[in-house]
């Protein structure tokens, strides 16, 4: 295209600049201008050819050149973005590698905390058993002081025996035998007292005829203890099972909470 011809029919330069600007806007507005549009624009330009239009077209050319520079820059930015995405993916993989052992050790830690809890509960039980040794002595005195105390002592010794069975079960799963050295003595103390107690308890039935004659109510009490015994122990078992269910529910809740927290931290980090 030739821009050297200087039109003579325009008197006002300002008017020609305005028109040229309008056309320029049209060019930028039509990102994909049709052939008709271009033709119409060219014809328009032919109408308003003058010195200013040459400058305008030069300006347009400059703008186009600058746009090309911008396009190149945008290309660079896109490339950089791709690189960044690649590096982010690599980082994510690396993060997964890092978090895998952390999760693994987290589980180990959880187990460790659980066993620590078990050990502390066993220690607690142990401290109870230390008191039980004194309690057994008290029960022995109680048993010797009066026959009528046998009902109280019976209940106590049954409960202690039951606890002893439970504790023995727990101790099976603990490796810290050295920490539980004196436990056996305390358990043995209950076992000895149980033998001692029942030796006396069964001896009452030696004099069943005499008891039925002189103290029938006492004989009935003794028999009732035997009758109630399985139910009594079964009730304790039910309570213990309920306690276990609650404990498992609590642990399940804790585990879920931990998982959720871990996911939350992971998201926050990303």
Partner 1 sequence: MKESRISNTTDKNDNEFDNLYEILIFKIEEYIDQKFHLGFYDKNDLQDILFETQNFVNDLQIVYNKVVACFPPKYNIFNVYKDKYLKNIYDKLKPFIDEKKLEMTPGNLILIARWLDKFTEGLRKVGIDIKTTDIGCVKL
Cα of 134 vs its chain's centroid, Å: 44
Please return the burial class of 193, using the count of CB atoms within 10 Å of its CB with bins 0-12, 13-18 and 19+: buried
Residue 131, token pair as written in the block: 């008191």
First-last CA distance in the chain: 56
Q: Rg of the Cα trace of the chain?
A: 48
Is residue 43 part of the contact set for partner 1 (CB under 8 A)? Answer: no
The residue from 67, 208, 241, 244 that contacts partner 1 (CB under 8 A) is 208
Tell me how far, at minimum, the Cβ of 219 lies from partner 1, in Å: 5
Closest to partner 1 by CB, 152 vs 223, is 223
Closest to partner 1 by CB, 158 vs 186, is 158
Q: What is the DSSP letter of 43?
A: H
Closest to partner 1 by CB, 54 vs 236, is 236
Is residue 147 part of the contact set for partner 1 (CB under 8 A)? Answer: no
The footprint of partner 1 on residues 67-106 (CB under 8 A) is none
Closest to partner 1 by CB, 104 vs 202, is 202
Is residue 226 part of the contact set for partner 1 (CB under 8 A)? Answer: yes
The residue from 81, 213, 259, 260 that contacts partner 1 (CB under 8 A) is 213
Please return the burial class of 157, using the count of CB atoms within 10 Å of its CB with bins 0-12, 13-18 and 19+: buried
Closest to partner 1 by CB, 178 vs 195, is 195
The residue from 8, 146, 230, 268 that contacts partner 1 (CB under 8 A) is 230
Closest to partner 1 by CB, 115 vs 161, is 161
Closest to partner 1 by CB, 76 vs 227, is 227
Distances (CA, A) of 191 to 25, 141, 249: 104, 17, 34
The residue from 206, 238, 267, 270 that contacts partner 1 (CB under 8 A) is 206
Tell me how far, at minimum, the Cβ of 114 lies from partner 1, in Å: 30
Q: Among the candidate windows 70-78, 118-126, 223-231, 239-247, which touches partner 1 by CB under 8 A?
A: 223-231
Residues at the site binding partner 1, with contacts judged by CB under 8 A: 158, 202, 205-206, 208-209, 211-213, 216, 219-220, 223, 226-227, 229-230, 233-234
């Amino acid at each position: 295209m030739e821009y050297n011809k200087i039109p003579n029919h325009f008197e006002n330069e300002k008017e020609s600049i305005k028109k040229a600007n309008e056309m320029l806007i049209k060019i930028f507005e039509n990102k994909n201008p049709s052939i008709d549009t271009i033709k119409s624009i060219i014809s328009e330009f032919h109408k308003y050819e003058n010195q200013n239009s040459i400058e305008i077209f030069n300006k347009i050319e400059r703008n186009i050149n600058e746009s090309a520079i911008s396009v190149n820059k945008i290309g660079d930015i896109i490339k950089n973005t791709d690189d960044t995405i690649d590096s982010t993916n690599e980082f994510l993989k690396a993060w997964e590698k890092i978090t895998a052992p952390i999760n693994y050790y987290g589980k180990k830690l959880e187990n460790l905390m659980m066993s620590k809890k078990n050990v502390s509960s066993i220690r607690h039980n142990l401290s109870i058993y230390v008191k039980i040794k004194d309690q057994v002595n008290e029960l022995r005195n109680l048993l010797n002081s009066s026959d009528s105390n046998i009902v109280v002592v019976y209940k106590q010794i049954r409960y202690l025996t039951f606890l002893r069975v439970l504790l023995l079960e727990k101790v099976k799963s603990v490796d810290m035998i050295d920490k539980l050295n004196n436990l056996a003595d305390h358990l043995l103390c209950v076992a000895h007292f149980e033998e001692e107690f029942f030796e006396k308890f069964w001896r009452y039935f030696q004099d069943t005829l005499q008891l039925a004659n002189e103290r029938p109510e006492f004989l009935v009490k003794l028999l009732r203890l035997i009758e109630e015994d399985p139910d009594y122990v079964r009730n304790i078992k039910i309570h213990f099972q309920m306690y276990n269910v609650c404990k498992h529910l609590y642990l399940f809740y804790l585990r879920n909470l931990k998982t959720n927290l871990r996911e939350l931290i992971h998201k926050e980090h990303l």
